[in-house]
Amino acid sequence: MQELFHPTMRSTELSAISALGLAHMGDCVFELLVRTRLCLSGVAKSEHLHRITVEHVSAPAQAVFADAILPSLSEQELAVYRRGRNAHVHAIPKNATHGQYAKATGLEALLGSLYLSGQLDRIEELFSIGWEAQNAL
């Protein structure tokens, strides 16, 4: 049986996934981390949880998050981030600039790659850095 909550893909397998495929996975990982952080912090009402979650997972907020973690990335992580950032997307939400959306896609690709390769501790480390920067604004 395959471990779905603890995947351990090798770099050769990850390179076969498109940048947008990695971002698709990373989008889910990022939202799960935000939702978990909010629940653990005591935000209890459903309407508050949704509104705050949406604020944190928006492309502009993710761009701030990405900028905060960039200095902490290894060369390999930076390469994955750039691969996602440079991916050709077909639609950009009206609340984001092209640059913000590109950074958000890079962040999501990085998180997707880290998750699929089983690097959960690294995800938590980077998430903590970005969360602090995002909430300092």
Give the residue numbers annotated as catalytic, written as ranges.
Answer: 27
Neighbour tally for 26: CB within 10 Å: 27
Q: What is the DSSP letter of 6?
A: S
8 Å CB contact between 136 and 107: no
Distance CA 82, CA 80 (A): 5
∠ CA 16-128-133, rounded to 5°: 105
